[in-house]
Amino acid sequence: MRLATKRITSLICAAALMISLAACSSTTASSSESTAEGTSMSAPGEGTPPDKPDGEGGGPGGQGGPGGGFGGSGTVTQGTSANTIDTDTTVYSESYESTGDDENALRVDGATVTLSGVTVSKSAGKSSNTEDGDFYGQNAALLATNGATVTIENSTITSSAQNGNGVFSYGEGTTVNISDSTITTSADNSGGIQTTGGGTTNASNLTVETSGNSAAAIRSDRGGGTVNVDGGTYTSNGENSPAVYSTADITVKNATLTANNSEALVIEGENSITLENCDVTGSMSENGTSADENVHNVMIYQSMSGDADVGTSTFSMTGGSLTGKSGDLFYITNTHSIITLSGVTLSNEDTSANLMTIAGNSASHGWGTAGSNGAQVELTADAQTLSGAITVDSISTLDFTLKNGSSFTGTINIVDNADGGTAVDDNAVVTIEEGSTWTLTGNCTLTSLTNNGTINFNGYTITLADGTVLK
């Protein structure tokens, strides 16, 4: 994604989409094939989105990719639907299918609808524009839009279409409540549950699996929204396909999140991921979009694409486990981030990798300007055990607090920025509160240290910015 020289505001809300409908096929739902072209409307507060470099998705999880054009029209473009429900109703055991380009198998437009035991299949048809699919739900299997409230239970949703997201919640006032259901997608740019434009998705006890590239199991994109997940399993198998990609406020509890060929979790910009009692595993491929910058399991960054507002990213994890199979456990670049870990079992199977890398990047993906695109991280370990190496480059900062009996076994070091950027103050500030412990495994460099707990030096030293050597 290309450099933006000023703050880019993401899509906040969406205009209603008016669709020409065929006659109703039942007394409970309008479920007829749409023959009219989809209507497009300008989204309030949104101009034409920034272009993306040829062949570059800009980041993992679905921001662009193969199989469709970039450069969305700057209008809400949702295509057509094979079946549309636009009146309040309850539907049992119906089947909805689509094989057309730019076509939803089922669209719920502005109505309050309960779907029980339904089957939704998007078996063919591609999206003519990747961003219209990512942003607005064009070509998704099931699209909820225009303030709809959709309750889905005991249902099966499948998509084998390019840019064919499984269940898509678009726009402020739109809510999808989905439980005890299965979502399976197999093509590129096809996430499991997708939320954009200020929509809401509440998911409970789902089984979600994606197989394409740029196909996160839990996805959000331009305009964000709110996603609440409780229970279930969420698995991605493609490259650039995290279990969770956040340009929204996403909370996940009591779930298993697995990315078999990608980092596990990604936050872009002023957005959040909150995890409670989740088991998370990442295994990033060296072919991933951002692998040339860093191989990692949790990535927090600002793309400058306009898909996420510039601001503070928030990551909080309580209980559960985080396992990395390749690369650093955490990588933060070109953003300000607040990270809180409490009672999490952390495991990095790549013994040569860091616990955390905080650094600028080459800007080859448009993530800021090389030499001035470092990260600012506030890391709190609360009753937490950590181990490994933390590196902070000279244009980045770390404010690290150990509290409530936390322990850290490892090193912290300030390293030069790879692009020769001007060093900033307070690169690495560490506070050890009473009852917490740092055990060194090598020599360290810090800006400053406040120690009210215990440091086990093990024969190593800590060198502060003023030249003081502690040992």
pLDDT surpassing 60 at residue 24: no
Strands in 154-240 per DSSP E: 156-159, 167-170, 175-179, 182-185, 193-196, 199-210, 218-220, 225-236
pLDDT of residue 59: 59
Structure token pair of residue 394: 């000279």
List, edge to edge, every strand of the sheet that includes 444-445: 444-445, 462-463, 469-470
pLDDT digits over 196-242, tens only? 999 999 999 999 999 999 999 999 999 999 999 999 999 999 999 99
pLDDT surpassing 80 at residue 61: no
Which residues 6+ apart lie within 8 Å of 130 measured at CB?
64, 65, 67, 68, 69, 70, 163, 189
pLDDT digits over 341-366, tens only? 999 999 999 999 999 999 999 999 99
CB 210 within 8 A of CB 237: yes
Percent of the chain with pLDDT over 70: 84
Structure token pair of residue 305: 């694409």
Structure token pair of residue 385: 């055990």
What is the distance between the alpha carbons of residues 58 and 239, in angstroms, rounded to a whole number?
13
C-alpha dist (Å) from residue 339 to 299, 318, 367? 12, 11, 20
C-alpha dist (Å) from residue 344 to 109, 313, 389? 41, 20, 17
pLDDT digits over 449-467, tens only? 999 999 999 999 999 999 9
CB 4 within 8 A of CB 52: no
CB atoms within 10 A of CB 282: 29
